[in-house]
Amino acid sequence: MDTQNKQTGAEGEQFAANFLKDKGWVIKARNWTIGPWELDIIASKDDVLAFVEVKTLTQSGGYYPERRANRQKFRNMAKACDLYLSTHPHHGQVRFDVIAVTLLPHPPEIVHFTDVWFPNNLGR
């Protein structure tokens, strides 16, 4: 990934983390990495633990950043999630979310998709 893409991704993740905090979520971790897998944001609210994939575009141009979250990405998230939960037990609801961030036009547009994927549906 080139420097510009990393910078765009980091900016989108910051907007997403701030968005979640404003909604009462507690950010447990950002860019949590184990082996080849990474979880962009891990957040909790009440008894829900959300593993959040952030997808960012600089401008819309008719594109939707959330469409870049594909099955393989969710399979990888599920593997990382299993490893995270093995060392950070959680006894409430666990879900996978996507936050789509479009940086331009200003201010950024943020769309939060909840419960977007269920690991058992793909037989990971």
Q: Domains of the chain, with CATH numbers?
A: 3-119 (3.40.1350.10)
Please check whether residue 94 is in contact with residue 85, taking contact to mean a CB–CB distance below 8 angstroms.
Answer: yes
Tens digit of pLDDT for each residue in 12-21?
A: 999 999 999 9
Contact between 93 and 48 under an 8 Å Cβ cutoff? The reply is: yes
pLDDT tens per residue across span 38-75: 999 999 999 999 999 999 888 766 666 676 777 788 88
Angle at 96 between CA 71 and CA 62, to 5 degrees: 60
This prediction has a pTM of: 0.86
Does residue 98 register a pLDDT over 70? yes
Query: What are residue 49's phi and psi, to 5 degrees?
Result: -115, 120
Alpha carbons within 13 A on the beta-carbon side of 87: 6
CA distance 65 to 68: 6
Q: What is the pLDDT of residues 76-89, one digit of tens each?
A: 888 999 999 999 99
